[in-house]
Homo-oligomer: A and B are copies of this chain.
């Protein structure tokens, strides 16, 4: 029996009219999530008193966003990224103690199944770019080395493109590798100093950024996934200190603790050197 107060739609009771309609046999979590979605969505519409023209524009924007997606392009993830949603979901699901290495977004350019390489290997297989030695330690929260940690790394090339974006002109793989720590927890490999680049901005999301007066650039970064038995997986980047876009990353990926020193080493075997330690959090820690 429907409560007569919400049997029919009214502006005031719009949320209750919708949420009351969910059947008794729906999954409790789905009921909770959809109830909250309707609550916040209606609050947004009431807050701004959305016009019918704006509603029509939103429908058209979402439709174009869906139709921009194909096997190589996920425009809804891009939308989630530029609204800070991807970072927020990542943050909520990866809360860690102070001192532990923080997560950031995975991004669309990770590749599974890249072969393990010996420590010290140069992952820049085309040799283009300013060479950089990446090194550091993987430890637990107490500073003890973590052995057997797998460090999966990838970056763009000197032109700002990942290998998978340029299958014709870059060797495959390029600027990618996996390294496994020994008893000392140390890692080292050679690559290039990454460069900043724009996210794809030729679709609806790029148009939206333009209308908001926002640029599409990400600051230069090296991607890392660090996995070790008994520890939470760290999906993160190190960002190049001094990059122009550190405080305006189009996808909000920068956390203060992830900004790394990249030191010029004109006398060394590489142009640059960047040292960064990964501090792992035990599984089950919040």
Contacts and interface: CB of A to CB of B under 8 A. Distances in A.
Given A64-B66, A252-B9, A211 B27 contact: yes
Contact of A50 (B7, B9, B89): B89
Q: Which of A18, A31, A64 has the most CB of B within 10 A?
A: A18
A26 B43 CA distance: 24
Interface stretch (A80-88, A112-120, A128-136): A80-88
Q: Count identical subunits in the complex.
A: 2
A142 interface: no
A93 B51 contact: yes
Given A14-B91, A46-B92, A83-B41, A213 B22 contact: yes
12 contacts: A7-B246, A9-B87, A9-B255, A10-B255, A11-B91, A18-B84, A18-B252, A23-B214, A32-B48, A41-B85, A59-B77, A62-B62
> 9 closest pairs, A vs B, by CB?
A66-B66, A23-B213, A40-B44, A18-B84, A11-B91, A7-B247, A2-B247, A9-B252, A40-B40
